Amino acid sequence: MGGWDWGFVSQIMPTLLRGLLVTFEATLLGSVLAFALGLVLALLRRAGIPVVSRLVWLFIEFVRSTPLLVQLYFLFFVLPDFGIRLSSLTAGVIGLGVHYACYTAEVYRAGIEGVPRAQWEAATALSLPRHRTWTRVILPQAVPRVLPALGNYVISMFKETPLLLAIGVIDLVGAAKEAGAGAYRYVEPYTLAGLLFLLLSYPAAVLVRRLERRVGH
Amino acid sequence: MPADDVMIRFDKVVKRFGDNVVLRELDFQARPGEHVTLIGPSGSGKTTILRLLMGLERVNGGTIQVGDEYLSHMRRGDKLVPADERHLRKVRRRIGMVFQQFNLFPNMNVLRNLTEAPISVLGQPREQAEARAKELLDMVGLAEKLTANPAELSGGQQQRVAIARALAMQPDVLLLDEVTSALDPELAAGVLDVLRDIARSTDVTLLCVTHAMKFARDISDRVLMFDGGKIIEDAPPAEIFDSPREARTRDFLQSVIET
Amino acid sequence: MFDNFELFLTTLLRGAPLTVAATGGGIVLTILLSFVAGLAMLSRSRWVRFLARVYVEGWRGTSEVVQLFWIYFAVPLLVGFQLVPLWAGILVLGLNHGAYGAEIVRGAVNAVPRAQHEGAIALNLGPAQRIRKVILPQAFVEMVPPFNNLFIQLLKSSSLLSLITVTEITNQGVQVLVPNYTGQALTIFLIMLVLYLILSLVITVVMRLVERWAARVAGRPATARARVTGELGI
**Which pLDDT belongs to residue C231?**
33
Nearest-CA residue of chain C relative to B54?
C122
**pLDDT value of position B83:** 86
10 Å Cβ neighbour count for B148? 15
Closest among B88, B70, B67 to B78, alpha carbons compared: B70
Is the pLDDT confidence value at B152 over 50? yes
3-state secondary structure of A186: coil
**Which residues of chain A does C162 touch, with a Cβ-Cβ cutoff of 8 Å?**
69
A210-to-A24, A203, C6, C106, C109 alpha-carbon distances in Å: 23, 11, 53, 18, 22
The answer to whether C11 faces chain A, any CB pair under 8 Å, is no
Question: CB–CB of B107 and C118 under 8 A?
Answer: no
Query: In chain C, which residue ranges form alpha helices assigned H by DSSP?
Result: 5-40, 46-61, 64-69, 75-79, 85-111, 114-122, 127-129, 136-157, 169-171, 185-217
Model-level ipTM above the cut of 0.85:
yes
pLDDT digits (tens, 9 = 90+) for A78-91: 999 899 999 999 99
Contact with chain C for residue A170, Cβ under 8 A = no
Kindly give, in sequence order, each residue whose CB lies less than 8 Å from that of residue B228, ignoring residues fewer than 6 positions away. B24, B44
| Domain membership flag for residue B24 | no
End-to-end CA distance of chain B: give it in Å, rounded. Answer: 39
- Do A8 and C74 contact (CB within 8 A), yes or no? no
Contact C171, C162 (CB under 8 A): yes
The per-residue pLDDT for A1 is 47
Lowest mean pLDDT among A157-161, B18-22, C176-180, C220-224: C220-224
Q: Which domain range does residue A82 map to?
A: 6-215
**What's the DSSP call for residue B33?**
T
Given a cut of 70, whether residue C2 has pLDDT beyond it is no
Residue A14 lies in a domain: yes
Is C234 in contact with A163 (Cβ distance < 8 A)? no
Higher pLDDT, A203 or A130: A203
The number of angstroms, rounded, from the C-alpha of B59 to the middle of its chain's C-alpha atoms is 17
Q: Give C90-99 pLDDT, tens digit per residue.
A: 999 999 999 9
Residue B259's pLDDT is what?
A: 53
Q: How many residues does chain C have?
A: 234
CA–CA gap between residue C26 and residue B243 (Å, rounded): 74
Determine the distance in angstroms separating the CA of B242 from the nearest CA of chain C, rounded to an integer: 35
Q: Is residue B75 part of a domain?
A: no
- Residue A211 near chain C (CB below 8 Å): no
Residues of B in contact with C218 (CB under 8 A): 106-107
- Judging contacts by C-beta atoms under 8 Å, the chain B residues touching residue C43 are none
Q: What is the pLDDT of residue B258?
A: 60
What CATH number does the domain containing A108 carry?
Answer: 1.10.3720.10
C186 touches chain A (CB under 8 A): yes
Site from C53, C66, C191, C228 to mutate, A interface, most A CB atoms within 10 angstroms: C66
Residue A39 in domain? yes
Confirm if C174 and A78 have CB atoms less than 8 A apart: no
* C-alpha to C-alpha distance for C100 and C92, rounded to whole angstroms: 13
Q: Helix or strand or coil: residue A85?
A: coil
The residues pairing with B209 across neighbouring beta strands, listed in sequence order, are B38, B177
Surface of A (46-65) touching C: CB under 8 A: 62, 64-65
Residue A64 in any domain: the answer is yes
pLDDT band per the 50, 70, 90 thresholds, residue B100: very high
Q: Give burial (CB, 10 Å; 0-12/13-18/19+) of A61.
A: middle
Q: What CATH number should be reported for the domain holding residue C95? A: 1.10.3720.10
Cα C166 → chain centroid: 18
Largest separation between any pair of C-alpha atoms in chain A: 75
Cα–chain center distance at C29: 8
Predicted local distance difference test score (pLDDT) of residue C219: 84
Domain presence at residue C192: yes
Secondary structure of residue B63 in the 3-state scheme: strand
Q: Which stretch of C62-76, C118-132, C143-157, C218-232 has the lowest confidence by average pLDDT?
A: C218-232
Beta carbons of A155 and A204 less than 8 angstroms apart: yes
Q: Which domain holds residue C154?
A: 5-217
pLDDT at C224: 39
* Structural domain includes residue B108: yes
- Whether A159 is in a domain gets the answer yes
Closest Cα in chain A, distance from residue C125 (Å):
33
The pLDDT tens digits for B25-64 are 999 899 999 999 999 988 778 999 999 999 899 899 999 9
Q: Is residue A20 part of a domain?
A: yes
pLDDT of residue A215: 79
Q: At residue A181, does pLDDT exceed 60?
A: yes
Number of domains forming the structure of chain B: 1
Residues in chain B with CB shorter than 8 Å from the CB of C130 are none
Structural domain count of chain A: 1
Q: Is A87 on the interface with C (CB under 8 A)?
A: no
Give yes or no for residue B153 having a pLDDT over 70: yes
Which of A193, A103, B224, B105 lies closest to C129 in space, CA to CA? B105
Residue B75, C-beta contacts closer than 8 angstroms, at least 6 positions apart: none
Q: Which of C140, C113, C108, C128 is nearest to C38 (CA)?
A: C108
Percent of chain A scoring above 90 in pLDDT: 66
Residues of A in contact with C197 (CB under 8 A): 62, 65-66
**CB within 8 Å of B213: residues ≥ 6 apart:** B39, B241, B253, B256, B257
Q: How confident is the model at residue C221 (pLDDT cuts 50, 70, 90)?
A: low
Q: What is the pLDDT of residues A182-199, one digit of tens each?
A: 888 889 999 999 999 999
* 3-class DSSP assignment, residue C218: coil
Residues of C with Cβ-Cβ distance to B52 under 8 angstroms: none
Percent of chain B having pLDDT more than 90?
A: 67
CA distance to partner chain A, nearest, from residue C123 (Å):
34
Residue B198 belongs to a domain: no
Which chain C residue shows the shortest CA-CA distance from B88? C124
**Enclosing H/E stretch for A213:** helix A187-215
Nearest to C146 by CA among C19, C209, C233, C212: C233
Strands B222-227 and B230-235: antiparallel
Question: How many domains is chain C partitioned into structurally?
Answer: 1
Amino acid B138 reads D
Helix-strand-coil split of chain B, %, nearest 5: 40, 25, 35
3-state helix, strand and coil shares in percent for chain A, rounded to the nearest 5: 85, 0, 15
C-contacting residues in A 104-143 (Cβ below 8 Å): 106-107
H/E element holding A70?
helix A68-78
Exposed/middle/buried for A46, CB within 10 Å: 0-12, 13-18, 19+?
Answer: middle
Q: Please report the pLDDT score of residue C223 as a whole number.
A: 45
Q: pLDDT tens-digit profile of B210-224?
A: 988 989 999 999 999
Terminal CA-to-CA distance of chain C, rounded, Å?
Answer: 41
Res. C229: pLDDT tops 50: no
**Strand extents, DSSP E, chain B:** 8-17, 20-30, 35-39, 61-66, 69-70, 73-76, 79-82, 95-98, 173-177, 205-209, 222-227, 230-235
The answer to whether B47 and B178 are in contact (CB under 8 A) is: yes
Residues contacting C101, CB < 8 A, separation 6+: C30, C31, C33, C34, C37, C38, C147, C150
B71-75, B207-211, C167-171, C222-226: which has the minimum mean pLDDT?
Answer: C222-226
Residue C229 domain flag: no
Tell me, yes or no, whether chains B and A touch by having 3 or more C-beta pairs under 8 A.
no
Contact B209, B220 (CB under 8 A): no
Cβ B224 vs Cβ B231: under 8 Å: yes
* Mean confidence (pLDDT) of chain A: 91
- Distance set, CA B139 to CA A136, B106, B113, B132, C166 (Å): 62, 22, 16, 11, 66
Is C202 contained in some domain? yes
Given a cut of 60, whether residue C232 has pLDDT beyond it is no
Specify whether the CB–CB gap between A102 and A37 falls below 8 A.
no
Is pLDDT of C222 > 80? no
The DSSP letter of residue C227 is -
Query: Would you say residue A217 has pLDDT above 80?
Result: no
Per residue in B174-215, pLDDT (tens digit) is 999 999 988 988 889 999 999 999 999 989 999 999 988 989
* B79 bridge partner residues: B76
Residue A110 has pLDDT above 70, yes or no: yes
- Domain region containing B152: 103-170
Determine the Cα–Cα distance for residues C225 and C211; give it in Å rounded to an integer.
10
Backbone φ and ψ for A111, nearest 5 degrees, come out as -65, -45
**CB < 8 Å to B166, chain C:** 122-123
